[in-house]
Structure 1
Amino acid sequence: MPQLYHANYATFELPERLLDKSVHMFTLNDHGPSDFNIVISQAETQAGEQLEEFGSRLVAELGRSLPRFELRSMTNRLLGGSPAVELVYSWRKDGNFMHQRQVITLTHGAGEDSVQAILIAATCLKPFTDEWNCMFDQMLASFTLRRPLAGAVPMPIAAPAPVEHPPITNPSGLPLVFTYSERRRMLVVHPDQEHACRKTDAREVEQDAWEFYDADGEPLTASFAISNASTLWGKPSEYQLAPSGQPHAPRLRDRLDHVAVLHTTDAAPKLATVADIRQHLARAIISQTG
């Protein structure tokens, strides 16, 4: 039986065999990339799948499909009075980092006893500003769902346990840390992790302007206890470094051909040139495989 379909521009009968895969996109401009946009889409859920299960499955799929995907938070909220989950994450695209807030809720689908997910995603080319957060929050607060699930009760999402980062260990046993800025094509050699974190601006780190590598050229991830946007007077918060754990993340050896400026320290006198660093990394690879 055809479904009576309502859109902003018309009402029509949707043939029974056709699936509704419509997407609504709202941008700031007609042409070119938009600093901020909102996309509303829908997806089918699996049989018996709950909201938190759908959210976790989506996170896993995003992690597989988006380069350098990093989930910042996953929290409960309400959307139109119904339980919802909000994901905050970033990923790399065309040399830049994209930032997204995505709110998900479940509603009745078109078919009998079917359930579908409504996904509302706000995307920024740079970290969210107060203006974009406010605009998205106001839109979410105005939502009224046409087919909410009756009796749905939000389930608590367990807060992640605090992560304690042990000292960085690498086969070479050296404490050196490398930082690389793609925009500046600059590589800096630091004597240890403390020096790297102290000398690399936290605001730029949170904006993904710097990459970190251990003494063997393996990628490191910067982890903030509190984001800069949440700190008093906007002062940079402290961050720690830990092994990335992402098997497809670039290694330092992949960046060396692009280095135009090299800064080293007295702690690493044998790494005065890019050629020295290349030889150092080659020896590290041999020691790991040997």
Structure 2
Amino acid sequence: MPYHSNHATFELPAQLKDKTMHMFTLSDDGPSEFSVVMSHADAQGDDSLVNFSDRLVTELGKSLPDFRLMSKAERTVDDTPAIELAYRWRSAGYLMHQRQVITMLPRTEAGDVHAMLIAATCLNPFTDEWDAAFDGILDSVKLRHKGAPASSAPASTGPALASTVFALSERRRTLHAFANQEEACRKTDAREVEHDAWAFFDAAGTPLHASFIVPNTGTLWRKAGSYVLEKRPERGAPNLRARLYQASMFVAGSPAVRLSSIAEVQAMLDQPVEG
């Protein structure tokens, strides 16, 4: 999946789990009088905001010494329902105090559910200064998914889409979309292609088949060769529309691909292709 960090964008392999955490403190060493952590956590498939927060309180009570929930209240983050917990616990001789705000994120293409957590921690009870600082952060939060275009919008057509090549990994349940055949062949491992780990399709969903021009070599350490993609109507393989159910995650292989979800791929396949 395409991944965005503060200073770079890169492709994250589907099997890696995102455990990103942003931490902000007042000092480099030792306990900070005030700190803020932003993170996300896996939720259960049918979790509501209330269920998730209740389970979190139970888990905190089991894991934190001398845990005490001070308050629990409904609020919003960027006009999105949220719950704020205020509690304290004992750690290394300090009585720590924390305000934690929880909001649920939209379900991913793979069907996963996550909660976003924003927590402020103080070594002593919150002062007016630190309450105001945390409230200012919360009031300024803008959730990225709210500014994203709706994934259900019909896909636009044009020259870039007419040359699109799709690569489907049934084992990974992932559908990649590349700008053209050259990019698809360059970015999809020839050693996996040789073992039929990938199925390729053109912009209309017609199957494409790999023809090796440089074979994979070696036995213990295999060196990747190179291949091109071609249509072979006589093979009678199912088209992408018939196999789309095998994908649960979508990955755009380059900025030239004007698609962002499996739903948009389905919409594209239902439209005539230009070019």
TM normalised by structure 2 equals: 0.52
Report if the CA contact (8 A) 1:106-1:149 is conserved: no
Per the alignment, do residues 149 and 101 of structure 1 end up closer, same or farther by CA in structure 2, a change over 3 Å counting? farther
Partner of 1:67 in structure 2? 65
Aligned to 1:38: 36
2:65 is the counterpart of 1:81? no
How far apart, in 1, do the equivalents of 2:80 and 2:112 lie?
17
Q: Distance in 1 between matches of 2:79 and 2:28?
A: 33
- 2:50 partner letter: E
Contact kept, 8 Å, 1:74 with 1:86, in 2: the verdict is: yes
Residue 129 of structure 1: aligned partner? 127
Sort the Cα spacing of 1:55 and 1:148 in 2 relative to 1 into closer, same or farther, 3 A.
farther
CA-CA distance at 1:147 after TM superposition: 2.3
Q: Any conservation in 2 of the 1:108–1:149 contact (CA below 8 Å)?
A: no
Q: Which residue of 1 aligns with 2:17?
A: 19
Q: In 1, Cα distance between the equivalents of 2:145 and 2:110?
A: 12
Cα distance in 2, alignment partners of residues 116 and 149 from structure 1: 18
What secondary structure, in the 3-state scheme, does the structure 2 residue paired with 1:113 have?
coil
Q: Which residue of 2 aligns with 1:98?
A: 96
Report what 2:137 is aligned to: 139
Bigger RCO (CA 8 Å, 6+ sep): 2
Alpha-carbon deviation of 1:110? 4.2
Residue 119 of structure 1 aligns with which residue? 117
Q: Which has the larger radius of gyration?
A: 2
Superposed, 1:1-290 pairs within 5 Å as 3-147=1-145
Distance in 2, Cα, partners of 1:147 & 1:46: 20
Aligned residue pairs, count = 148
Give the C-alpha shift of residue 148 in structure 1.
5.1
CA distance in 1, matches of 2:120, 2:90: 16
**Whole-angstrom CA distance in 2 between matches of 1:148 and 1:63:** 33
Which runs of 5 or more residues in structure 1 are unaligned?
Answer: 151-290
Normalized against structure 1, the TM-score is what?
0.49
The letter of the residue matching 1:104 is: I
